[in-house]
A and B are shown apart, each in its own frame.
Chain A
């Protein structure tokens, strides 16, 4: 067994006859026994990585091994050591929760009594015992997601791929799933998690890779990524967008990176918060621009992403100055 659960080098995969480069030379080292986060917006290549590592898709070039097994040469060995749970909660709607788990167990070639015991155990752990004999089409979104995760755990795989496990879930269900994932990792499971929620990556992942357009654009621990930025975010709220347009050029040079402008809200990444704040206030006061609000805060991974890519993690819009127009709406 190697020290890394997943090792891949220069993975390339294109779609539509090479027009879309979903993966453009990605290399990863996922250490065993922790949550490794793949962070990026839609279309950044996260899901493609998971599909290659779970043997669903073959890479066009590059190599990948999962717990020492080559995904192209020995996919059948890889399939015996992984569990996969996806953003679409792929359970069979006409089967009950129990039947879904039993089917997955049987297809994992577990003996019947073992499957039945394991299925009941998981249903209880995931709070689904009462719904065990109901068709899953009657399940709520959170229940489906839990069943989907349970299905991935039936064969007790040492490595778990979670592809956006909490996308579309309500906050309480999300918290519940986070707790489950943390407990799994305490028990020794390695988790490769993809997410577009920075809060999720921050909370769960020991190490992170940030992806954009099929490339790794940053990697490290969450604190390391935050440290790549200045230490503080200076958030200015102008009275209106006209004032913001006038004010931004006056304060832009206080930061090494372009200010983030969203309507009348402007954010600057700065090294020394209080002194820069005073500086900004002086300049704006001299130009007779009044502020509606001013705040200093620690940078979040959201800020990291914005600085690295020039766009927010959860949409494709470009919010970086000099534009002052707001382009919202999810991609």
Chain B
């Protein structure tokens, strides 16, 4: 190791470029987002969770369970399934946000960030922006895999994009909720354990894999009205060109309400976390 460490300038270089709050808030958020995206791509387990697991789900439900699941008349199961898988994958993917933040806390990286002259919002902002990018990646992969196994989105391109936006907005609001869990959990294992009791009933007692009208009566009330079902119905209706009822607006309302509540909660938790 060389010992010719250069002497520090009397004025630190970071001072020269202060000011321009919004510009730096955006720049810092993108810097953190880039870091989180690189982590998803480079850590094999997170890539498996992000991409390979949803593909396995597609194949499992398409070829193993598919023929045993009843669908509404005139709808093929693969057309029913793929929009559901998209919603399910974004929910499962958001667990990574909880785990990632809990890990950053545990390792002391959040402390390092807090001692830097960066925007206060950038850690959570960058994390949730990275989630959006990951979900866009998932959307593309699942769409391609879906089409390969027989998925035919009859709704057309514009409704497909609309459906994607409904889904991404829903996932974005969820990210803040999972960020909150990650900040409150004592460690990453607990963060993971805390999220599964939440996401399992929401994902499986919904219209993601199975039409709720074929569930037992006592479950239908919950399954038909909860936000995951509303979002899955909206995404499915738009993609397949079938009537969506009011599910699009209900999903957007759920997402907006969740965002309004969860984003300030997570932000407050971040401010108090150390």
- A residues sitting closer than 8 Å to B (CB atoms) are 51, 54-57, 76, 79-82, 84, 86, 88, 90, 92-95, 99, 103-104, 106-111, 114, 118, 121, 124-127, 135, 146, 151, 153, 155-158, 176, 179-180, 183-184, 186-189
Contact = CB atoms under 8 A, between A and B. Distances in A.
Contacts of B122: 107
B14 interface: yes
Contact of A183 (B3, B34, B43, B113): B3
B193 interface: no
A79 B1 contact: no
Nearest to A85: B112
Chain B interface category by residue count: 35 or more
Contact of B7 (A82, A114, A187): A187
Contacts of A94: 38-39, 42-43
A79 B8 contact: no
Given A80-B117, A90-B108, A104-B116, A111 B17 contact: yes
Contact of A158 (B10, B112, B118): B10
B53 interface: no
Interface string B102-144: 0000011101111111100010000000000000000000000
Interface in B70-106: none
A307 B38 CA distance: 52
Given A109-B24, A180-B1, 11 more contacts: A51-B274, A55-B115, A80-B14, A107-B113, A107-B118, A124-B2, A135-B42, A155-B13, A156-B9, A158-B10, A189-B7
A135 B8 CA distance: 28
Nearest to B119: A107
Which of B4, B108, B111, B112: most chain A Cβ within 10 A?
B112
A48 B3 CA distance: 30
A86 B111 contact: yes
B13 A82 contact: no
A84 B5 contact: no
B112 A109 contact: no
A184 B5 contact: yes
B15 interface: yes
Given A103-B31, A158-B12, A76 B117 contact: yes
Contacts of B18: 80, 109
Contacts of A80: 12, 14-15, 18, 117
B233 interface: no
Given A92-B109, A114-B13, A158 B5 contact: no
A110 B17 contact: yes
A51 to B, nearest CB: 7
Nearest to B9: A156
B164 to A, nearest CB: 28
B246 interface: no
A90 B24 CA distance: 23
A180 B3 contact: yes
Given A56-B114, A109-B17, A127 B43 contact: no
Contacts of A183: 3-5
B134 to A, nearest CB: 14
Contacts of B115: 54-56, 79, 82, 84
